[in-house]
Structure 1
């Protein structure tokens, strides 16, 4: 996957997977990359997805002079290789339910940098499985992203994220939680 997009194995690779819609905050991620590449010129961000903002996101990347650092991929046929190749998963959503892409990233041992919002803060433990930053704060997002340029830090957070998903968010555990919830509703 890195070879397909011309990204060296030694380049820090950030990944975002989401629909290209305003609430997903990719504009904030593009702005944050300015602060990342100022410190790590070889860093790269892949924004994978589809949606109504695809053209405007491409324009924002070009206007910011970040075409060497940010790639808007559009829809891809298979996503697992992207999670496997990424060093850090990033999300700048304004709101979420249960953030499945974050769970997928954590299952792939990717540390997470995301916005501190409902849904996300139930999954990502700040300082343990990733970093949480306020929404619409590209400079704070960039600072959190830069924390993961150290490989050992990425590995530690990634392992802890994997363990959290394995311990708390498997299909069996989710089904059991729903069954307990439904049972408690019937008992009332």
Structure 2
């Protein structure tokens, strides 16, 4: 079968999600493609997946006519449904929700989606994220729209631990955008307090500057100065995705960890990547990571906003080598099972069978 996955730009988590799931479907004999409406930094990561970047109706119509997709999965952009139908696509059209940040925004977007989904859409797909499921059941109650929910795919064979020279001091890492929901302020406060115990600690922050909110970035620069973190801070911008496995491996071997401070998540993209590379994870408690992080088994978790609790959990990861290795090993095993390509392809094709009435 032929599938098309559609998103705004090839960047951030969606770039990785699409590449991993396309590999999953290719592995089982299907033909997946990606369409992005605008260019983005993730284009450097595209290798073996047919990928189109265009927002021109003529180009899109040619793509649809040429490949005659069995299903199109559109992430987030429900407002494009009339466009695809108007360009002649009559097949299965699936709206996918990978996450909308704060729950108030998720609620508003799902409410706004209703007329588009009811008129043009065949089904709704979302990762194993409880707050999205709750909102869908509330807002789409008594509507004849099927929902499907399963974990994203992750290829642990292509993105995994790489033995590299030791760094020598703990590295705390953060991956995200400079915007409120990613909660960079909390990360800086945690790092500042950990510095009192580990004065040689390094802080690495990975971002795409094209996605930053300018005011947030200005406030970030100010808070870094106020907390005296400039000497230990390194900002990595637009790192090619293939190189991130090396960074996660270095961070894991340094005695540090990935710190995920976001207020809400749809799916645990960077968390799963780190786990696959034996980089321990400390995360705020949000339901988007529950499929990946089992407290004290596959990672560490702290109540959102509780800096003291986060610092305590972080100290355990840095100072307790036995607990650290136990978590690193379990995390890798968990990702390889719960997010496997085989499991994703199986769930995806079960969804297709239901939608085709098989």
TM over 0.5: yes
Q: Which runs of 5+ in 1 are unaligned?
A: 1-7
What does residue range 93-104 of structure 1 map to in structure 2 within 5 Å? 93-104=262-273
User: Equivalent residue for 2:248?
Assistant: 83
Q: What is the aligned counterpart of 2:282 among 113, 116, 119? A: 113
SS of 1:106's equivalent in the other structure is helix
SS of 1:125's equivalent in the other structure is coil
Superimposed CA distance per residue, residues 101-151 of structure 1 (whole angstroms, 9 cap, x where no aligned partner): 111001101111001111111211101011111112222222211111133
User: Equivalent residue for 1:9?
Assistant: 167
User: Equivalent residue for 2:310?
Assistant: 141
Contact 2:184 2:261 in 1 (8 A): yes
What does residue range 1-188 of structure 1 map to in structure 2 within 5 Å? 9-50=167-208, 51-52=212-213, 53-77=216-240, 78-87=243-252, 88-149=257-318, 150-183=320-353
SS of 1:68's equivalent in the other structure is helix
Instruction: Identify the range of structure 1 (12-21 vs 159-168) with the bigger mean alpha-carbon deviation.
Output: 12-21
After superposition, the Cα gap between the structure-2 partners of 1:175 and 1:54, relative to the gap in structure 1 and judged at 3 Å, is: farther
Instruction: Identify the range of structure 1 (142-151 vs 117-126) with the bigger mean alpha-carbon deviation.
Output: 142-151
Name the CA distance, whole Å, in 2 between partners of 1:168 and 1:70.
34
SS of 1:42's equivalent in the other structure is coil
* CA-CA distance at 1:154 after TM superposition: 2.2
Superimposed CA distance per residue, residues 73-105 of structure 1 (whole angstroms, 9 cap, x where no aligned partner): 333344222111113111001111111111100
Q: Of the two, which has the highest radius of gyration?
A: 2
TM-score calculated relative to the size of structure 1: 0.86
Name the CA distance, whole Å, in 1 between partners of 2:260 and 2:276.
16
After superposition, the Cα gap between the structure-2 partners of 1:172 and 1:43, relative to the gap in structure 1 and judged at 3 Å, is: same
SS of 2:231's equivalent in the other structure is coil
Contact 2:295 2:301 in 1 (8 A): yes
Name the CA distance, whole Å, in 1 between partners of 2:169 and 2:198.
9
* CA-CA distance at 1:185 after TM superposition: 6.3
* CA-CA distance at 1:181 after TM superposition: 4.2
Higher relative contact order (CA 8 A, sep 6+): 1
Name the CA distance, whole Å, in 1 between partners of 2:295 and 2:258.
14
After superposition, the Cα gap between the structure-2 partners of 1:151 and 1:68, relative to the gap in structure 1 and judged at 3 Å, is: farther
SS of 1:79's equivalent in the other structure is helix
Contact 2:261 2:284 in 1 (8 A): yes
Instruction: Identify the range of structure 1 (58-67 vs 158-167) with the bigger mean alpha-carbon deviation.
Output: 58-67
Name the CA distance, whole Å, in 2 between partners of 1:157 and 1:101.
17
